[in-house]
Amino acid sequence: MKIAFICTGNTARSQMAEAYGKYFASLLRKHIECYSAGAKPAKEINPYVKEIMKEEGLDLSLARPKGLEEIPLKDMDLIITLCDSAKESCPYLPSAKVMHWSLPDPADLQGSPEEILTQLRKIRDEIKHRVEKLIREL
């Protein structure tokens, strides 16, 4: 089973989902390959995302945003879009099941660094919950 988590920039939500997908697939001993990519990949991962994932014991220091062409998209069994713009721009693949999780965009968060981190942790925890449930059910 191959899963792709798709967002626009591949800087936050899809990176977190990929990391949790790999973590839970390994923990539950399931043969599931997880990827993430962006329809329009940015230059770097959101530094706040790296920080809050490190709190979870997941290191994204070597991760980088990837474009759709950098993953084996045509081989995917399941594609999950994590933002509305990615849902609209995601290529149609008749062999893949497609799901959509509409989650807030971390790039839109405002406030002090601590307020942004608090809001981002809520998004992270929602992604963690959804990915764990998905991997357990597969």
**Which residues are marked as active site?**
7, 83, 90
Distance between CA 54 and CA 69 in Å, rounded? 28
For residue 7, list its beta bridge partners. Answer: 38
Helix (H) or strand (E) holding 24: helix 13-27
The amino acid sitting at 5 is F
Please provide the size of the chain in residues: 138
R_g of the chain computed on alpha carbons: 14
